Amino acid sequence: MAISTAAARPAGRTLPAAWYDWLFVATTAWLVGGAYLDAWAHNHVLGLDTFFTPWHGVLYSGFAATAAVLGVRWLRDRSLPPGYGLSLAGCAFFAVGGLSDMVWHTIFRIERGIAAVLCPSLLWLIVSGGLIVTGSVRAAMAGAGRRAPAVAIAGAAVVFCYLGIITSFAQPYLARVAASTYQGVLPYQQAVLTGTFGVMLQSALLVGLVLTLRERFELPFGSLTLIIGLQALLLEAANTMDYMVLVAVLGGLAGDVWLLVLRDRPALFAIVLPTTLYAFYVISLKIVYGTWWEVHAVVGIVFAAGATGWLISFLMRRRTPAAPATAS
């Protein structure tokens, strides 16, 4: 009788599936944390003009740890648990991107401002990093059970934090262009366009992630508070810590309540989640700074957040296939 290769391979000492998932989440959190630490350095360390920094060291050591978790498992078993294959490919791409980034910055030095996001080597790293950090969510969605395990929520929080750092150039928590302190700094039209774009982009990312999770799982209460609040905490820590963390936590808490109330109304949930979050945001700006925008624009960005959420839910809607026609 023929024996399959998998059956013939002697059993070895392999981490239990849950432990492996948590180990992967920990190493990707290390990687993403290194990205935030590097952002902090760019915002606070003067004269930073080299690739070889301690903060890059944290980022790339996090990548090395993640690659080791995936690579050792693959070399041992010639396979990975479902969901992690793309992450292993992302590690290979990230290694190439890291070398390219070192060469690029050695030749052209460190970029400033928005140019950092447009740097070709960094764009390569961003895409590769996305393949890596989403592995824990893919793995959790491939598992059994309807209620989301804690590791899936933790993995989603890491993913949302990653989305926050790579889009920090359009982050309303940081660019508070509706606040009166921006009057005279930006032309009015440019400020409204910048603010609206940031709110719509972040609403799309938030709703897209949450609906993806919600389609597969029942999310325990507190999930959105963690996911939204942690991202705001890291963004603020990398820049200047203040009350915006509280705004995000309140928005996440409201989102958890909406999850319960609108359990069977995903399209409506997709509208009210970003609408509530950015209503808190606008109210906080009004209280703390005052605003120099016309009321149409101030209220309008809140409605734009909700409209964006609805559009994302519409695009993600799975249509039920039509029943085959019966022959008459």
Assess if residue 308 is contained within a domain. Answer: yes
Query: By the 8 A CB rule, do 234 and 39 touch?
Result: no
* Rounded distance between C-alpha atoms, residue 14 and residue 267, angstroms: 42
Q: List, in order, residues 6 or more apart from 129 with CB less than 8 Å away.
A: 31, 35, 90, 94, 162, 166
Q: Which range marks the domain in which residue 20 is found? A: 16-146
pLDDT > 90? residue 10: no
Residue 204 and residue 273 in one domain: yes
Residue 172 and residue 118 in one domain: no
Assess if residue 3 is contained within a domain. Answer: no
Residue 27 and residue 65 in one domain: yes
pLDDT of residue 18: 80
Assess if residue 241 is contained within a domain. Answer: yes
pLDDT single digits (tens) 37-80? 988 887 767 665 555 677 678 888 999 999 999 999 999 988 89
pLDDT of residue 70: 95
Alpha-helix residue ranges (DSSP H) falling in the chain: 5-8, 17-44, 54-77, 85-108, 115-118, 120-133, 135-142, 150-166, 188-216, 223-238, 244-261, 266-288, 295-316
pLDDT of residue 308: 97
Q: How many residues does the chain have?
A: 328
Assess if residue 154 is contained within a domain. Answer: no
* Rounded distance between C-alpha atoms, residue 64 and residue 303, angstroms: 43
Residue 284 and residue 175 in one domain: yes
146, 179, 209 - which closes a domain? 146
The number of domains in the chain is 2
pLDDT single digits (tens) 216-262? 899 999 999 999 999 999 999 998 889 999 999 999 999 999 999 99
Question: In one letter, which amino acid is 169?
Answer: F
116, 146, 176 - which closes a domain? 146
pLDDT single digits (tens) 120-161? 777 888 899 999 999 999 998 887 678 889 999 999 999 999
Residue 311 and residue 256 in one domain: yes
Residue 256's SS3 state is: helix
Assess if residue 8 is contained within a domain. Answer: no
Residue 54 and residue 176 in one domain: no
Assess if residue 324 is contained within a domain. Answer: no
Residue 195 and residue 277 in one domain: yes
Residue 106 and residue 69 in one domain: yes
